[in-house]
């Protein structure tokens, strides 16, 4: 990594964040790592619903067409011009390589043209930064639950080195052994006739059901790891049985309720077990599934029973967005960390790998 002191404009460091890891083209301007001045997201979800999921090559092409208008809109909403920016941050992994390259290369080129520092941001670290946006953020150390379409993991989140205020550091505690929770939601949603992405609609279908839910075994492997492939398979088998009996429409909501209960109870149990194991009373939750209202209600209640303070990413920053990227980028830049021009996209980047390497 390179070291430099990022410039400040008007007394505050304004960082432009770029996010193109999957099917959202996003740009945001964040001031001093906490205050979001703009957050623009152009989603491709409706486009890819016809395919039942993201087509990587098409996602990259769509990002290329959308990135400049999205950036311009983020600056307009923030009430600034390019010259007001003190730094640029862009996701460089993990994600779809072709999609990542659009935001990464745009960010590097823009920073070079403006003569401001650039830093690559780990998408996973950004998701765990999202719950800290806004006022009165929780101070590390705390347990971080990252739960999204591509990742489900638990981390011990600690502070940076002296002089690196606000810069989070991570230690893996447990992760999914197979499918991520969000991936399971999309696959079971498809079985129930819910278009991609299925998470929000399945959550609503489950929460609106008041009868006897379909019973599914809670997937609880040893330690702090997760496993959702068996639950997904069990749901698929039950859907097939109900179809054969001509009762699927009648029991559709019951399947959704049973599946959701199994997922959110597993997430809550593992997250609270992590807090107990490392003796921490603070928990933050980031990633797209952090928007799931069933999870928010259950985990909030159980955490309160154990005297654990839980902070979820704000709903608008739970799904993929650029505000979280700009926030993480700000603290990296403030600590003097920048990325070299040759930084490459990393589709399988792990959180322990850090940012900008």
Predicted pLDDT of residue 209: 94
Are the CB atoms for 320 and 25 separated by under 8 Å? no
Q: Is 40 helix (H, G, I), strand (E, B) or coil?
A: strand
The model's pTM: 0.92
Q: In the chain, list all ranges with CATH 3.30.420.40.
A: 2-134+316-353, 181-313
Class of the CATH domain delimited by 2-134+316-353: alpha beta
CA 208 to chain centre: 26
Whether 128 and 286 have beta carbons less than 8 Å apart is answered as yes
Which residues lie across from 217 on neighbouring strands? none
Report the distance separating Cα 227 and Cα 35, nearest Å. 36
* Chain mean position to CA 32: 21
Q: pLDDT value at position 166? A: 84
CA 83 to CA 80: how far, in whole Å? 8
Reported as a single tens digit per residue, the pLDDT across 10-48 is: 557 999 999 999 999 999 999 999 999 999 999 888 888
Asked if 86 and 6 count as a contact pair (C-beta separation under 8 A), the reply is yes
Strand partners, 212: none
Name the stretches of the chain with pLDDT < 70: 1-11, 353-354, 356-357
CATH architecture observed for domain 181-313: 2-Layer Sandwich (3.30)
């Amino acid at each position: 990594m390179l070291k430099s002191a990022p410039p400040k404009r008007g007394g505050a460091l304004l960082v432009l964040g770029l996010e193109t890891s999957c099917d959202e083209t996003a740009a945001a301007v964040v001031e001093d790592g906490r205050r979001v001045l703009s957050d623009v997201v152009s989603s491709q979800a409706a486009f890819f619903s016809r395919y039942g999921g993201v087509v990587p090559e098409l996602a990259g092409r769509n990002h290329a067409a959308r990135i400049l208008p999205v950036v311009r809109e983020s600056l307009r909403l923030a009430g600034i011009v390019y010259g007001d920016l003190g730094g640029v941050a862009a996701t460089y992994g993990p994600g779809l390589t072709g999609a990542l390259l659009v935001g990464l290369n745009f960010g590097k080129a823009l920073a070079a043209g403006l003569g401001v520092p650039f830093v690559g941001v780990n998408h996973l670290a950004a998701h765990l930064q999202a719950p800290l946006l806004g006022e009165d953020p929780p101070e590390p150390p705390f347990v971080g639950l990252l739960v999204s379409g591509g990742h489900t993991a638990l981390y011990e989140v600690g502070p940076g080195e002296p002089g690196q205020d606000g810069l989070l550091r991570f230690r893996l505690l447990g992760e999914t052994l197979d499918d991520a929770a969000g991936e399971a939601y999309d696959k079971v949603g498809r079985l129930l006739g819910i278009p991609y992405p299925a998470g929000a609609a399945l959550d609503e279908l489950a929460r609106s059901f008041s009868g006897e839910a379909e019973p599914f075994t809670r997937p609880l492997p040893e330690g702090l790891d997760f496993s959702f492939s068996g639950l997904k398979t069990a749901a698929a088998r039950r859907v097939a049985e109900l179809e054969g009996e001509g009762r699927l429409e009648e029991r559709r909501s019951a399947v959704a309720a049973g599946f959701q209960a199994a997922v959110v109870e597993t997430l809550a149990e593992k997250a609270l077990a992590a807090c107990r194991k490392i003796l921490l009373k603070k928990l933050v939750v980031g990633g797209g599934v952090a928007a799931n209202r069933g999870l928010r209600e259950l985990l909030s209640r159980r955490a309160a029973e154990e005297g654990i303070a839980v902070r979820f990413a704000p709903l608008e920053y739970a799904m993929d967005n650029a505000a979280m990227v700009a926030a993480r980028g700000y603290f990296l830049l403030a600590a003097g960390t920048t990325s070299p021009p040759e930084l490459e996209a990393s589709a399988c980047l792990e959180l322990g790998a850090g940012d900008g390497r």
